[in-house]
Amino acid sequence: MKFSTDIWVAALIRRVDLGGGTAVVVHKGDARAGSVLIKVLHRREGRARLYAEATRADGETVWMRPAASEAEPEIDAYIARARRIDPDLWVVELDDPQGRHFLTEPVEAD
């Protein structure tokens, strides 16, 4: 069973808080079925990563990195383009001293 997006995002934010990081919803999309982009900041190393939800051919939900760059301005540009295409998109920004993404689902090419 898949949760609505607002509940899933709230659970992610809770995991981040419990793990010692900070999470902020930068853009709130459709509460029931909006897609999610997760921007992870690792300030100690001066890098950022972006994760997007995807569905494999077998129907399994996974997370992937849609932008290979770890430069924050390039990731922000990707997010801006994605938001123009999909106004229901959620954007969640995580700031973690260890650069963790806190995703419990499978992550490809991490």
The per-residue pLDDT for range 43-73, each reduced to its tens digit, is: 888 899 999 999 888 988 899 999 989 999 9
Domains, the chain, with CATH or none: 5-95 (3.40.1530.20)
Picking from 61, 69, 45, the residue whose alpha carbon sits closest to that of residue 108 is 61
Which pLDDT belongs to residue 109?
Answer: 66
Mean pLDDT of the region 9-22 = 97
Which pLDDT belongs to residue 44?
Answer: 86
Which pLDDT belongs to residue 12?
Answer: 97
* Residues forming beta bridges with residue 61, ordered by sequence position: 55
pLDDT at residue 34 is higher than 80: yes
pLDDT confidence tier of residue 82, bands split at 50, 70 and 90: very high
Mean pLDDT of the region 22-28 = 97
